[in-house]
Chain A
């Protein structure tokens, strides 16, 4: 069956450009998370969507970062005016309910800012 799909798998951009990263969660999953993983580091929480509730944006590192989730399904993470320190793997995960259930992860988008 289809898992969490992320695109692109790799993105190379120049400093100062904007990028959009896409996540297609598993169909029917109401919860969607974005995490960032720098090289050799753990997973840093960015943002969490749950159904029609207002997203938890508490992990976004600056106002250059934003995310949307349209129609309760596909999500887009946007990074404006990218900086070199934004280089990382951006992971998306989804799960069926609001909590106490395992997350299913995508393979991530490797973002490189030159």
Chain B
């Protein structure tokens, strides 16, 4: 769950560089994971998902890595663009779908 009162973790990257956003999940029974992107004033937008029987999945410019041993999920964005600036959330699902606190990505032109 969220930690009330803490600021969002932030990540700043230069345009064109690769970004890695990390997420630690809590429930070892979680078998489905999703990454969402949320731009200011909008609802979260689906990026990519992965099931627990996989450790890597690739999409367009994005890759999700899952390490079940340490309950860690990461989102890699290749050749980051200004339009990638947003807050990124991971979500885990066992019997319900819970979201992490989020990371704010800022792309420097």
Chain A interface residues (CB < 8 Å from chain B): 4, 33, 35, 40-45, 48, 56, 58, 91, 93, 99-100, 102-108
A43 and B44 contacting across the interface, CB-CB below 8 Å: yes
A42 and B101 contacting across the interface, CB-CB below 8 Å: yes
Chain B contacts for A105, CB-based, 8 A: 36, 43-45
Does B70 count as interface, using CB distance less than 8 angstroms? no
Given contact pairs A42-B102, A43-B44, A43-B89, A103 touches B96 in the complex (Cβ within 8 A): no
Chain B interface residues (CB < 8 Å from chain A): 1-2, 4, 7-8, 31-32, 34, 36, 41-46, 49, 51, 89, 91, 93, 96-102
* From B2, B8, B45, residue with most partner A Cβ within 10 Å: B2
- Give the CA-CA distance A43 to B32 in the complex, in Å: 17
Nearest-neighbour CB distance to chain A for B8, whole angstroms, equals: 6
- Give the CA-CA distance A56 to B42 in the complex, in Å: 25
B101 and A56 contacting across the interface, CB-CB below 8 Å: no
- Give the CA-CA distance A45 to B89 in the complex, in Å: 14
Can you list 24 contacts pairing A with B, beta carbon distance less than 8 Å?
A: A4-B43, A33-B97, A41-B2, A41-B8, A41-B101, A42-B89, A43-B89, A43-B91, A44-B1, A44-B2, A45-B98, A45-B99, A48-B97, A56-B96, A100-B93, A102-B34, A102-B46, A103-B44, A103-B46, A105-B36, A106-B43, A107-B42, A107-B43, A108-B43
* Residue of B whose beta carbon sits closest to that of A102: B46
Which of B8, B97, B101, B102 has a CB less than 8 Å from the CB of A103?
A: B97
Given contact pairs A43-B99, A44-B2, A99 touches B93 in the complex (Cβ within 8 A): yes
Chain A contacts for B46, CB-based, 8 A: 102-104
- Give the CA-CA distance A27 to B51 in the complex, in Å: 25
B96 and A48 contacting across the interface, CB-CB below 8 Å: yes
* From B2, B8, B97, residue with most partner A Cβ within 10 Å: B97
Chain A contacts for B51, CB-based, 8 A: 100
